[in-house]
Structure 1
Amino acid sequence: MSLVQQRRFTRRRTSVGASREFVTGVLAEWQLHTLIEDIRLCVSELATNALLHGVPPGREFSVALHRVEDQVRLEVRDSGPGQPSVQQAADDACSGRGLHLVRGLADDFGVDDHVVGKTVWLVFKTSATAAALP
């Protein structure tokens, strides 16, 4: 058995905060409180990247959470071109650390290309006590 929650967001700055609230609500509903802070930070980074680099004007991006057994998969999909890459930011740079950060927090990371756009995904393992689906 698996659980899935997904929501679409418009191309505006307030959507980053709305995506954080969305994942917080879903993870609380699934009683995965120990993952909330890490996944909130990761969705913030991925949603910001989608807005800055992946969502053309007039389009949306989507955020999805999938829960299967002992893991949660976070996906952020946009319809823009380009391939995200992990960069090594300069010490004094104000940006460029997002993908490096999310890769460090997640148990797995990847990008799926689509005919239009891509999905950046992260996998987080749940604790053994929280692994039973509600």
Structure 2
Amino acid sequence: MNDETQPPSPRERFYRRERQSVPAARAFARQALGDWGMRERAYDIVLCVSELVTNALVHGVPPGRGFLLRLLPYGDGVRVEVHDSGHGVPAVPQGEGPEPGEGGRGLLLVSELADKWGVGERDPGKIVWCEFAGQPHS
């Protein structure tokens, strides 16, 4: 059975704990989205990749370790996962007034741009994920 409408294969890449991993992860995501023809929300998806990867580097990746970026297409959408080995559970800041402090702005952006986001368990560490349907959410 050869079905040409099968979804594209997931893509993943491991990155080391270093500053250049953030632009490399953005480029990787842009390339995958372009290859899959997912252009409708590409800007939002790449921005969220950047925020989740930055959070992993700053808060979730112990020295000497790295993180895994996984992009999983489904239907007309995509799921972004960042796997790290750090402790703690990321959260959107609450009750800080109109402007969040130095921390938490990235997850605030992710919560506004993505249709869903969350944190899953991993041993060791966690998976921070977000999902985007093909059409912008309202």
- Assess same fold via TM > 0.5: yes
Deviations 1:25-53 (A, max 9, x none): 00000011122210111011101100010
SS across alignment from 2:130:
strand
- Which sections of structure 1, spanning at least 5 residues, go unmatched? 128-134
Unpaired runs of 5+ residues, structure 2, are 1-5
- The 2-side partners of 1:93 and 1:112 are apart by 25
- Structure having the higher helix fraction is 1
Percent identity, aligned pairs only, is 46
| 1:126 equivalent in alignment to 2:134 | yes
Query: Over aligned residue pairs, what C-alpha RMSD do you find?
Result: 1.4
After superposition, the Cα gap between the structure-2 partners of 1:71 and 1:10, relative to the gap in structure 1 and judged at 3 Å, is same
Q: Give the letter aligned to residue 118 of structure 1.
A: K
- 1:68 and 1:51 mapped to 2: Cα distance? 27
Runs of 4+ in 1 over 6 A off after TM superposition: none
Picking from 56, 60, 66, the partner of 2:66 is 60
Offset at 1:71?
A: 1.9
Normalised to the residue count of structure 1, the TM-score between the two structures is 0.88
Q: 1:8 aligns with which of 14, 17, 22?
A: 14
CA distance in 1, matches of 2:100, 2:61: 27
